[in-house]
Amino acid sequence: MLGISGIGPLRAGKKARAAALALSLLGAGTALATTAALAEPISGGEMTIINGSDIKSWDPAVTNATFPGGPMDMLDAVYGFLVYLDVDGNIQGGMAESLTSQDARVWTLKLRPGITFTDGTPYDAEAVKFNWDRAADPATLSPVQAFVASWNKGIKIVDPLTIEITLPDANRNFASQIAQLSPFVASPAALKAAKSKTDIKPVGAGAFLLEDWNQGVSMTLKRNPNYWDKPRPYLDTLKFKVIPETNSRISTVVQGGATMMAGYPYQFGSNATAPGVTTHEIKIAGLYRAFFNQKSGPFTDVRAREAFYEAIDRARLMQAYTQMPGYVPPTNYFVKGSPYYETKDVLPTYNPKHAQELFNALAKDGKPFNMKLVTYNNSDLKRLAAYVQQVLSAYENVKVSITEVDQAQLPPTCKEQMNFDLCVDGGVLVANGPEPMVTSHLGTGGGFNWGQYSNPEMDAALKAASTTMDDTAVNAAYGKVQELVARDLPLYIFGSETRFLLLRDDTGGVVPSNGGILQKQYLYVCKGACKDK
């Protein structure tokens, strides 16, 4: 799974659409009201979360991977989110009390009084502005530099606890973008003292303090005794363990060597019902997707993209990938349950006869379908790649080669070098609303737009959806987005799913946020199996 921010549709209904405006923001404690009733929290104890990879530095500007088990998990434990999204797509207060707007153009951030970083530096408006200005500086090499630089000149400090941000254009999604793209604030003193990213000391005001870090192996954090939201955090100790291989992660949880891991039921199998183990669904849908290279190679021709869709039965592809039947392929970018789901414009369906006609036409035009599929080398993706190669080998005028790389090398190979024709990333990437992920995938220059798809019509539709307060206009704009997705085929969308946690049954206080990251301050260890499961 890729270590960067994810994709998924907004959850459902008028309530979620209104929440996406973030025109009023709830206190952090409200998050518990949006989850299942919890047992009485117990203070003390420790938990271990398994991640597939480690962070490279404690730079708060390197904000990516909003899925559970990703690098933001670790940053959140130390820094805490300014604001975050709950599983219903509602904005919740974190380190900040509120982020509000009357017109979606001028936003006001209100900080909580009396918070200090663990080095004694005030957690105030100056500290937040320093962090945002730093992220906007190209020299910081922040993946969200372009986003922050588009508005940081409009920051005005009203008083030590209040910041006013005037955006260049109205943006109804600004609060959710802050939650997912630029939510972490570190002590300015610690950032100024670091000579390089790797020298940054994790000095935050979040729920935990770093005690020990064996990079690439494990991390131990202790309770922050001065955390603002007492009696949280409940845990004395929070640990992270890095285990890249999925089956090893599963066996570690089942055998009691860790508290939880993120994954999917098809990976868990019978382990999900092992003694002392349970599962928890994170109800935020996401897409399985692959990227078409639209700068060079066969997929620069839309006929090749259409032929690829029609040559493979996506339901059978998902069965080969997961070894489980019953998947229904998404019809477009927004899946059922999204307020923007519609049936008018749909992706091509399995049609082998027409696919062969397209392959023949491409060959006749001097564009034979010679495809290089790039993915990383875990067992699930090996099955998927082998299935694609096997199915396409039955067609004439088609050649498919497979290149497998280490997971960490997929972004450099695909995004940076564009050394692929089809790049397949593992797992689903999820988000609670259409933005920032839909623009990241489909907008010109988007951070997830690995295939470098670019269409002024798409850019205009995405902008129209974000700059209006009229729900009817928003629906129309996202309808145009889906029309263009069905016409241009910028991505290969082959499945949809929610993430799950495999966890010990004495795990309490599971409060997912953003793309599934747990709010660590709520976690606690039950005496025996938790009653709220």
CB neighbours of 210 closer than 8 A, spacing ≥ 6?
58, 78, 202, 219, 220, 221
Rounded Cα distance, 95 and 21, in Å: 20
Q: Report angle CA 153, 158, 163 to the nearest 5 degrees.
A: 55
CB neighbours of 304 closer than 8 A, spacing ≥ 6?
298, 358, 362, 367, 369
CB 155 within 8 A of CB 187: no
- Domain borders along the chain are 285-498
Question: Which tokens go with 365?
Answer: 């035009």
Chosen CATH of 285-498 out of 1.20.120.1760, 3.10.105.10, 3.10.310.30, 3.90.1150.10:
3.10.105.10
Rounded Cα distance, 314 and 307, in Å: 13
pLDDT of residue 426: 82
pLDDT of residue 532: 58
pLDDT of residue 492: 98
Strands 491-504 and 260-263: antiparallel
**pLDDT in single tens digits along all 533 residues of the chain:** 222 222 333 333 333 333 333 333 333 333 443 333 355 899 999 999 999 888 889 999 987 666 677 778 899 999 999 999 988 888 999 999 999 999 999 999 999 999 999 999 999 999 999 999 999 999 999 989 999 999 999 999 999 999 999 999 999 999 999 998 999 999 999 999 999 888 999 999 999 999 999 999 999 999 999 999 999 999 999 999 999 888 999 999 999 999 999 999 989 999 999 999 999 999 888 899 999 999 999 999 999 999 999 999 999 999 999 999 999 999 999 988 888 999 999 999 999 999 999 999 999 999 999 999 999 988 899 999 999 999 999 999 999 999 999 887 899 999 999 999 999 998 887 767 788 889 999 999 998 899 999 999 999 999 999 998 889 999 999 999 999 999 999 999 999 998 999 999 999 999 999 888 999 999 999 999 997 54
pTM of the predicted model as reported, rounded to 2 decimal places: 0.83
pLDDT of residue 31: 40
Question: Which tokens go with 523?
Answer: 């976690």
| DSSP secondary structure string for all residues of 502-518 | EEETTEE---EETTTEE
pLDDT of residue 14: 37
pLDDT of residue 516: 87
Rounded Cα distance, 460 and 481, in Å: 9
pLDDT of residue 16: 36
pLDDT of residue 13: 37
